Structure 1
Amino acid sequence: MVHNHGRPGVCVCVCVFGCCSWWADQLNDQGYDPSSIYFKCTHFLEVSMTLATSKWNRNILDDLDINPRIIHYAKRAGYVSACSILQASYSELQQKIGIPPIDAEHLTASVAAHVLPRQLSVWEMCSSVTSRLTHITTGCRQLDESLGGGVPVRGITEVTGESGSGKTQLALQLALHAQLPPSSGGLGKGVAYICTESQFPAVRLQQLIYHLQDKHTQGPKTFTDNIFIQHVSDMESLVDCIRYQLPHLVPSRQVGLVVIDSVAAAFRAEDGAEVNKTIPLQTLGYRLHQLASSYDVAVVAINQVTAAMGKQNLYGRTGNITPALGLSWANLVTTRLMLIRTNSYIKLNKTVLCNKNRDKSSQWDASHTSKSEGNCKTKTAVEYNVRLLEVIFCPWLGQESCSFVVTEKGIEGITLSTPDSY
């Protein structure tokens, strides 16, 4: 029960979540992300429940644009903070301050409007959402088609899968393509890359840059200058990084993409310890949604998988593996993508560089070879493991899938009707 002393303007509306499920269905049908509505409502409740914090106890009267007579009487009676004014009833303000009912109502409304975030209706929230959803191209046409244009700049996009399925490859490719201009499918912005598992794969990044620069000459001169890397090793450090460091880094460095590689590693590091991981996990998800909504950034969270007992049917997909961190994390995710290593292989032609003064070396190491050394090119057939990308759930997409391979150039889409595949 929430008491508001008869003032509907400052009460906490506890019934808002009761209608969220109905509104979520309506928003899904129109292509909107209902999770943003949920987290805005959560943010309102969070602010409303912090009446005891320091900012609520300071003198706020001088900041109000109301009749000076009301301010004078309120100061004389000792009602100077937002906490003391909003917790008092209308009758108490009239008796203690000595003002008429209309002035008490005006004082309360002015204080509430100054300290509380503006209350929005669901209609206003929907109207404020951009009609055109922005995407970051993956650099692979087939993947972009399956994703409706690429990775969305909205909510949290989770990329999950087994080890070696191509999760980090996709993250690196997105980190480069996000820096391309919008005309090339990028955002023209920087990238914040948070590593929790191992060292950042700088060598592989340079190999991808080598091929990307040949394909996109209109990109930045130096891709690496716009990727800001942070290493964290545990759950608490990851949450603190998202809460305190990213809100300063994103606007100051024009960051358009945030990558966490991976979320599960930081939380699994606490296994065996008596630590409640639910609250930090929810805090992480809420802060990421808040960051995406406030600064229009894409958030890509890499996740691991865990073995399941028997065949599990979750979100319409049956298998013996399931994404880590359970439903507490799944309910915070906007789009879930799963990468899978299949048992199929395909033969593709691979370009090999040979140099007069060197032995043959594959183009995988071509980033360390000067283009002006008179290299000759030959082609050879190489077997690549076929991977699969599946859209597990997304508010505006169906359950799409796409086959791809990881080559020296990065992720490349394929069709399995090729005769050389088996």
Structure 2
Amino acid sequence: MKVKIFSFSADLLCEYDRLKTGCSEIDKILRGGFRNNILNELVGTAGSGKTQICLYLSLMVQLPKQFGGLNKAAVYICTEDVFPIKRLYQMSSYFEQKFGIENSLDNVFISHIADSQRLKKVLCFDIKHLGRFKSIGLIVIDSIGGLFRNHSSGMRYDHRSKDLAKIAEELRKLSSRFKCIILCCNQMTDNIKTGCSEPCLGLSWSNLVNSRFRITRTTSSWRTFEIIFSPDLPPAHCNFSIANTGIK
């Protein structure tokens, strides 16, 4: 008698946590929000709204699951010039009034990093140590391209590819260990050969990303959020705006 053997993918056997963005239109096409256990990337030009979404997610993750959060803390890794603490404080004031919570800033752990070696140390040791005392639900890197942009002239591409692979590996380990969402922001750059804008770091990074989302600023008030590729989501897009209170 022949025995049929069925194989199931890991995605079919696992249930994933999802973190809502606070914008109903974005959450609708994300089928409930950003999911864990994969490497999510958010790309867009400067001023498109990437940081605004990440800041608000750092607050949303603290909410109970019935309100779209995970009841956990956020780790925000900043590689740009200055972390926008005033903007986060502004959002948190409205956020605490809306949901009736207090001290939301106490659950956002901020680290400013200037190079990839320091980032690997934070991922391998610092966040794991923090996880012993705090339940981590979100890790943001804003931005992954900023780590390599200032040092690209003196860095070999094979070394950069190894660094990116190590960073992606550690991020996936952390997502699996803490069941947290990973979200990496990335800048856009112009491709001289094609004449088109594309995410920084090329194929070496693109091949490591599981889901890619893009934000485009259409007018002074409106943005477009777009799903470029994802293992469990079809391509889709929607419009949203950014207000003093956050995303809407």
TM-score of the superposition, structure 1-length normalised?
0.55
Letter in 2 for 1:403: N
> Aligned partners of 1:245 and 1:148: how far apart in 2?
32
Root-mean-square deviation over aligned CA pairs = 1.7
Over residues 130-181 of structure 1, what are the superposed CA-to-partner deviations in whole Å (9 max), with x where a residue is unaligned? 3xx3211101111100111111122111111000000000000100000011
Specify the alignment match of 2:18 in structure 1: 135
Measure how far apart 1:234 and its partner are: 1.0
CA contact (8 A) 1:235 1:270 kept: no
CA contact (8 A) 2:17 2:179 kept: no
CA contact (8 A) 2:79 2:143 kept: yes
CA contact (8 A) 2:135 2:178 kept: no
SS of the aligned residue for 1:193 comes to strand
**Which structure's residues are more often helix, by fraction?**
1
SS of the aligned residue for 1:277 comes to helix
SS of the aligned residue for 2:56 comes to helix
Measure how far apart 1:334 and its partner are: 1.5
TM-score of the superposition, structure 2-length normalised?
0.91
1:209 aligns with 2:85: no
Within 5 Å, which residues of 2 pair with 1:282-297? 282-297=165-180
1:401 aligns with 2:240: no
> Aligned partners of 1:261 and 1:208: how far apart in 2?
18
Measure how far apart 1:254 and its partner are: 1.2
Over 3 Å counting, the alpha-carbon distance change for 1:311 and 1:201 in structure 2 is same
SS of the aligned residue for 1:179 comes to coil
Specify the alignment match of 1:154 in structure 2: 37
Q: 1:235 aligns with which of 116, 119, 137?
A: 116
4+ aligned runs moved over 2 Å, structure 1? 309-312
> Aligned partners of 2:68 and 2:31: how far apart in 1?
12
Greater RCO, CA 8 A, separation 6+: 2
1:303 aligns with 2:139: no
CA contact (8 A) 1:250 1:256 kept: no
1:251 aligns with 2:121: no
CA contact (8 A) 2:18 2:32 kept: yes
Specify the alignment match of 1:50 in structure 2: none
* Percent pairwise identity: 34
Letter in 2 for 1:152: R
Specify the alignment match of 2:160 in structure 1: 277
Larger Rg: 1
Q: Which runs of 5+ in 1 are unaligned?
A: 1-22, 33-125, 313-319, 345-383, 413-422
Within 5 Å, which residues of 2 pair with 1:371-410? 384-410=220-246
Specify the alignment match of 1:261 in structure 2: 142
1:324 aligns with 2:200: yes
Over 3 Å counting, the alpha-carbon distance change for 1:274 and 1:211 in structure 2 is closer
